[in-house]
């Protein structure tokens, strides 16, 4: 199969990168939709389930992402994504063969090893394909993968698990990734890196040089902490929502829960994720600081309503109230990655993305789901089945804390952008 002319199109490549990340999200989020039957089969506590949702996946995903980022800054990014896709798809199937907590944790770790190789090269490729005034929109499109993945993953996992069981759900979910890897290898060529950074004599290759450059900027230091805290909230919340619905509204079947959450988080949330990046690009033309001001406003408006929704008595009212927080929950995501890409040189970008993801995933995604599960266990004697809702409600403290760091980053953003522009980093 020869590469079509579309292989030269940045939009075709963006579409394939989006598809790859949707598959990753579906494979990753299936565990959230299936956590209750897995808990029942393996007799797990909420803390143990939280470990499977968080640390079992995120620790290796975050740490190995740095290594893959370094590789992507020096090697062929297309090949790295394709091989990673095959690895995590096979190991998603292995989740369906687990016989207990340990084997499921090992399979989840294997999925993490594969998925760690996808994001850093993807962000690097997008930064070479789109200039600084388009990156927010491009990354916003790419970032909708989280929402689309939840839409497909929750709805499909709910329906398939009820019809065929949770084990067969994992087995079926591994197939699309293998097919997509074949398309990636057959139709995509490695994009050229931006010449400006090469001509500038960029000496910042490698982990330590990239980390030093990033941490020398107060903007990035605040973005790292803010990104970790918002990931703590978002992943802690979304990973436990299916279990919250199963426990709070016991008459609901898993298919209804999956479709309801898929529509709210997937469709409504996906629109917000894209528009967050789109509006970020537009307002930045007037004043770049508006990128982060929008993120702060979204946090202040969305999360209080999201927490209040947990205590409504009707599941339809819960879903309706969650629509606004779902819409604005990832408004900051495209801005976060676009700004980090703008504040480093071309051959730092994959490594810089991996470092950002190390913070957001290890500190946020790793600890968020586990914290919620652990706290739910501590509160169960006092609150019973409502313990999970109480645990989820505490996340608002971390949401506002993250927003404060985005606000602080804005105080230094203009100066750091000008310094990087003077160095030839665009």
The pLDDT, as a whole number, for residue 205 is 56
Q: What is the mean pLDDT of the chain?
A: 87
Q: What is the pLDDT of residue 124?
A: 84
> Is 121 in contact with 72 (CB distance < 8 Å)?
yes
pLDDT tens-digit readout, 29-69? 888 889 999 999 999 999 999 899 888 888 888 888 888 88
Please check the confidence at residue 201 and state whether its pLDDT lies above 50: no
Beta carbons of 69 and 10 less than 8 angstroms apart: no
pLDDT grade for 274, boundaries at 50, 70 and 90: confident
Whole domain around residue 37: which residue ranges? 5-185+204-422
195 located within any domain: no
Q: How far apart are alpha carbons 51 and 28 in whole angstroms?
A: 14
pLDDT > 90? residue 173: yes
Domain count across the chain: 1
- 310 phi, psi to nearest 5 deg: -65, -15
Instruction: Indicate if the pLDDT at residue 115 is higher than 60.
Output: yes
Q: Give the model's pLDDT for residue 354.
A: 79
The pLDDT assigned to 377 comes to 93
**Residue 82, C-beta contacts closer than 8 angstroms, at least 6 positions apart:** 181, 184, 185
In a domain, 223, yes or no: yes
Model confidence at 6, pLDDT cuts 50, 70, 90, reads very low
Residue 46 within any structural domain of the chain? yes
pLDDT of res. 349: 78
The more confidently predicted of residues 291 and 172 is: 172
- Compute the distance between CA of residue 174 and CA of residue 385 in angstroms, rounded to an integer: 33
Q: What is the C-alpha to C-alpha distance for residues 151 and 145, in angstroms, rounded to an integer?
A: 10
415 pLDDT exceeds 90?
no
- Chain segment 16-34, per-residue pLDDT in tens: 999 999 999 998 888 888 9
Judge whether residue 1 has pLDDT over 50: no
CA angle 261, 265, 270 (to 5 degrees): 150
Examine residue 340 and state whether it is found in any structural domain, yes or no: yes
Kindly tell me the sign of the dihedral angle through the C-alpha atoms of 211, 212, 213, 218.
Answer: positive
Q: Is the pLDDT higher at 184 or at 137? A: 184
Q: What is the DSSP string of 327-361?
A: HHTTHHHHHHHHHHHHTS-GGGHHHHHHHHHIIII
Within its chain, how far is the Cα of 51 from the centroid? Answer: 18
Of the chain, the percentage scoring pLDDT greater than 90 comes to: 43
Residue 127: what pLDDT? 81
Question: Which residues contact residue 391 at a Cβ distance below 8 angstroms, ignoring those fewer than 6 apart?
Answer: 240, 371, 372, 373, 375, 376, 379
The arithmetic mean of pLDDT across residues 83-92, rounded, is 95
C-alpha pair distances (Å), 389 with each of 154, 385, 421: 19, 8, 47
pLDDT band at 200 (very low <50, low <70, confident <90, very high): very low
Cα-flanking dihedrals φ and ψ of residue 100, to 5°?
180, -175
Please tell me the predicted confidence (pLDDT) of residue 202: 47
**194 within a domain of the structure (yes/no):** no
Mapped onto helix, strand or coil, the DSSP state of residue 412 is coil
263 CB-near residues (< 8 Å, 6+ apart)? 151, 319
Report the sign of the C-alpha dihedral through residues 130, 88, 67, 215, in that order. Answer: positive
At 363-408, the pLDDT tens digits run 777 788 899 999 999 999 899 889 999 999 999 999 999 999 999 9
The length of the chain in residues reads: 426
109, 136, 172, 383, 408 from 281: Cα distances, Å: 36, 5, 38, 45, 20
- Supply the pLDDT for residue 194: 66
Q: Is residue 196 part of a domain?
A: no
Residue 195: the pLDDT is 53
285, exposed or middle or buried, with CB in 10 Å at 0-12, 13-18, 19+? exposed
pLDDT tens sequence across 233-273: 988 998 899 999 999 998 888 889 988 988 898 888 888 88
Query: Which class for 349: exposed (0-12), middle (13-18), buried (19 or more C-beta within 10 A)?
Result: buried
Q: How far, in Å, CA of 25 to CA of 149, rounded?
A: 5
- Residue 341's pLDDT band, with cuts at 50, 70 and 90, is confident
Q: Of all residues in the chain, what percent carry a pLDDT higher than 70?
A: 95
Question: What DSSP line would sit under 289-309, residue for residue?
Answer: THHHHHHHHHHHHHHHHHHHH
The residue ranking higher by pLDDT, 337 or 397, is 397
Residue with the bigger pLDDT between 131 and 319: it is 319
Q: Does 256 fall in a domain?
A: yes
Q: What is the CATH number of the domain that holds 120?
A: 1.20.1250.20
């Amino acid at each position: 199969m020869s590469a079509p002319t579309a292989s030269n199109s940045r939009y075709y490549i963006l579409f394939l990168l989006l598809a790859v990340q949707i598959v990753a999200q579906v494979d990753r989020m299936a565990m959230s939709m299936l956590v209750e039957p897995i808990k029942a089969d393996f007799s797990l506590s909420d803390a143990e389930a939280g470990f499977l949702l968080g640390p079992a996946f995120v620790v290796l995903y975050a740490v190995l992402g740095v290594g893959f980022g370094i590789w992507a800054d020096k090697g062929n990014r297309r090949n790295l994504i394709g091989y990673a896709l095959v690895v995590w798809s096979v190991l998603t199937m292995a989740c369906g063969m687990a016989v207990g907590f340990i084997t499921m944790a090992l399979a989840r770790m294997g999925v993490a090893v594969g998925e760690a190789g996808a994001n850093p090269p993807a962000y690097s490729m997008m930064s070479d394909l789109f200039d600084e005034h388009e990156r927010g929109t491009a990354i916003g499109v790419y970032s909708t993968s989280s929402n689309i993945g939840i839409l497909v993953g929750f709805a499909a996992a709910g329906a398939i698990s009820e019809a065929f069981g949770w084990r067969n759900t994992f087995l079926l979910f591994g197939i699309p990734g293998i097919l997509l890897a074949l398309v990636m290898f057959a139709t995509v060529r490695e994009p050229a890196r931006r010449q400006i950074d090469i001509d500038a004599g960029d000496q910042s290759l490698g982990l330590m040089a990239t980390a030093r450059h990033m941490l020398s900027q107060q903007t990035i230091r605040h973005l790292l902490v803010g990104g970790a805290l918002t990931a703590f909230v978002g992943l802690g919340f979304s990973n436990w929502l299916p279990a919250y619905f199963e426990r709070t509204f016991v008459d609901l079947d898993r298919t209804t829960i999956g479709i309801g959450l898929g529509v709210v988080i997937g469709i409504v949330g996906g629109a917000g994720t894209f528009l967050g990046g789109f509006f970020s690009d537009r307002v930045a033309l007037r004043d770049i600081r508006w990128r982060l001001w929008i993120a702060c406003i979204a946090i202040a408006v969305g999360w209080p309503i999201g927490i209040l929704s947990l205590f409504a008595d009707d599941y339809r009212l819960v879903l309706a109230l969650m629509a606004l927080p779902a819409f604005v929950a990832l408004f900051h995501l495209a801005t976060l990655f676009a700004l980090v890409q703008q504040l480093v040189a071309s051959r730092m970008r994959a490594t810089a993305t991996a470092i950002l993801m190390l913070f957001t995933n290890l500190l946020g995604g790793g600890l968020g789901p586990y914290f919620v599960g652990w706290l739910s266990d501590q509160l169960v004697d006092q609150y019973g089945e409502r313990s999970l809702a109480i645990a989820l409600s505490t996340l608002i403290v971390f949401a506002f804390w993250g927003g404060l760091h985005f606000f602080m980053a804005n105080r230094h953003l203009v100066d750091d952008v000008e310094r990087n522009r003077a160095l030839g980093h665009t």
